[in-house]
Structures are given as structure tokens and as C-alpha cells.
Structure 1
Amino acid sequence: MKHVIVFLLVTFLVSCEYFNVKKTSSEAILNEELKTFNWNDVDVYPSFSNCDSLETKDEKTRCFTEILTKHILKYLENEPIIVTHDVTDTLNLRFQVSETGVISLIDVKIDSLTIQEIPDIEKLIHSSLDSLPKIYPAIKRGQQVKTEFKLPIIIKAD
């Protein structure tokens, strides 16, 4: 009987460690949350008021890029551009939409032949952004955030 009591007493003393509650600091919780946080995706993509009635994120994204592309192309069509050779090129534009909905062109990748034929193409694209309708910024976890995105635009000039 003594052996059983000693055994139970030793087991009880050793197992007390399992009953201790470990406290987790708020910093540890924050660091764990930041590890699982996807920084490259937003909950709501930037949009125009025309896109508000759409349901899914993909539809709203497509709507935003289509309106932006059509606006830039329409602006370029209305400008008097004279070329000596036919131009067919894909312009790779990189935009940023701020937390307040201000769009800015960060980078433009244009073929050298296109620049030779239309030297003011980058300035024209910048000018086209001035007449855009109001842009609503992207939203991540309920907060308006700055976003960057790329947009290819195909231009043809005869």
C-alpha cells in the first residue's frame, strides 16, 4: 500500500506541469496573425461606381480593368497621332491606386519602335488619367489600402 501511495504522490507531483496554463502575449498572437496574412490580395479591388452592382470580386475586377482600358484607348483615339509606319504594340502599364482613390502611372513598358513612331505616348497616357471618373480604393480587412496592378493595353495605329 505504501508503494501505491508513493507512486500516486510522485505521479501527481510530476503531472502538475500539465495543469499549468500557458499565457500567450498579444504580441505573439499578432505575430502569428501576420504570418497567415496574405499581403498580395485585397478583399475588394479598386472600382468605379459603374462596377458597384456586380456581385463577385472577379466581375468587379474585370469591370474596373475594362473601364480603365476603354478610357485610355478612347483618349488615345481622340488625339491626333500621325505615324509613318503601322504600329501594333502591347503597352504594359503599372498603376497605383492610393488609399484615397488617386490613380498614378508608375511604370510604362513600351517597345522602342512604338516610342520612335509616337514619342509622346507616355505623356498621352498620363493625360488620359486626368479625366477618369471617381475611383474607389481597394479594401483589405475593412480598411482602404494602396494597391498596385499591371494592365496590358494593345494599341494599333495605321
Structure 2
Amino acid sequence: MKKGYLIIAFIVLTSCNYFDVKKTSSEAILNEELKTFNWSEVDEYPTFAICEKETTKEGKKACFQNTLTQAITKNIQTDTIVVSQNLNDTLIIKFQISEKGKMSIQDFKVDSITLSEIPNIKKLVNASLDSLPQIYPAIKRGQQVKTAFTLPIVIQAN
């Protein structure tokens, strides 16, 4: 019987380590959460009011891009542009949309031939941004966030 008490006492004394609770700091929890966070994806893309009828994330993204492309194309087409040679170029426009829904152009890449044929192309694109409807910013984990994206626009003139 003494051996039984001795074995039970030994087990109880050595098993105390199993009951220790390790405290985790809030910084450690935050660092673990940040490791699982995908910074390059948003839960909802920026959108216009007319894109709200779309139900999927990709559908809203496509609607936003199409609406933006159509607005820029429409504004460029309303201006009478005379060129001396055929153009077939792609404008690469890098946009940024703030967490308040304000759009700004970060970078504008255009071929030198297109720029010499249509010197006011940047002004036309900027003017088309002023006529856009209200933009609702992107959402990440329930918060409005700043986003940046690149939009190619094809310019063809004969």
C-alpha cells in the first residue's frame, strides 16, 4: 500500500507541469494573425453603384473595370482627334482608390508615338475620371481600404 501511495504521489508531483497554462501575449497573437493575412487580396473590390447588382466578387471586379474603361473610352471618343498615322497602342494606367473612394492616377504609360499623335491624352484620361460616378472603396475584413490596380486601355485610330 505504501508503494501505491508513493507512486500516486510521484505521478501527482511530476504531472503539475501539464497544468501550467502558457500565457500568450497580444503581440504574438497579432504576429500569427498577420502571417495568415493575404495582403494582396481584398474581400470586396471597389465598385460603382451600378455594379451592386453583381453577386460574385469577380463579377463586381469585372463590372468596375468595364465601367471605368467605358468612361475613359467614351471621353476620348467625344474629343475630335486627328492623327497622321495609324495607331494601335495600349495605355497602361495605374490607379489608386483611397479608403474614402477618391481615385487618382499613380502612373501613366503610353508609347511615344501615341503621345506625339495625341499630346493631350493624359488630360483626356484625367477629365474622364472627373466625370465618374461615386466610387465605393474596397473592403478588407469589414474596413474600407486603399487599393491600387492597373488598367490597360487599347487605343486604335486609323
- What is the identity, as a one-letter code, of the residue corresponding to 2:99? E
How many angstroms apart in 2 are the aligned matches of 1:16 and 1:23?
A: 16
What is the TM-score with the length of structure 2 in the denominator?
0.93
Post-superposition CA distance 1:96-150 (Å, at most 9, x none): 1111111111101111221121122112111111111111111111111111011
The TM-score normalised by the length of structure 1 is: 0.93
Amino acid across the alignment from 1:35? K
Listed as ranges, the matches of 1:45-84 within 5 Å are: 45-84=45-84
- Name the residue aligned to 2:139: 139
Percentage of identical aligned residues = 56
Structure 2 CA distance for aligned equivalents of residues 139 and 146 of structure 1 = 9
Q: Aligned partners of 1:2, 1:18: CA distance in 2, in Å?
A: 25
- Unpaired runs of 5+ in structure 2? none
Note if 1:106 corresponds to 2:106: yes
| Offset, 1:7 | 4.0
Report deviation, 1:25.
Answer: 2.0
Unaligned runs of 5+ in 1: none
Aligned residues: CA RMSD: 1.4
Give the whole-Å Cα distance in 1 for the aligned partners of 2:112 and 2:6: 88
Alpha-carbon distance in structure 2 between the residues aligned to 1:153 and 1:2: 88
Residue 119 of structure 1 corresponds to 119
The match for 2:15 is 15
Using the TM superposition, name which of 84-93 and 1-10 deviates more.
1-10
Shift of 1:13: 1.9
Residue 24 (structure 1) aligned with residue 19 (structure 2): no
Q: Which amino acid aligns with 2:70?
A: K
